[in-house]
Structure 1
Amino acid sequence: MQSTAKYHCAYCGEPSTTFIDFSAGIQQSYVEDCQVCCQPNILYVRIDEDTLDIEIDTEPES
Structure 2
Amino acid sequence: MLQQIEKDISCPYCGEVITVLIDNSVPHQEYIEDCQVCCRPIEFVVSVTGDDVDLVVRSDF
TM range (shorter): 0.7 to 0.9
Answer whether contact 2:24 2:53 (CA < 8 A) is retained: no
Q: Which has the higher helix share?
A: 1
Deviation at 1:20, TM superposition (A): 1.0
| Corresponding position of 2:38 | 37
Runs of 4+ in structure 1 displaced over 3 angstroms? none
Give the aligned length. 59
Q: How does the TM-score come out when normalised to structure 1?
A: 0.75
User: RMSD over aligned Cα, in angstroms?
Assistant: 1.6
* Percent identity of equivalent pairs: 37
| Structure 1 unaligned blocks of 5 or more | none
Q: How does the TM-score come out when normalised to structure 2?
A: 0.76
Deviation at 1:43, TM superposition (A): 1.1
| Structure 2 unaligned blocks of 5 or more | none
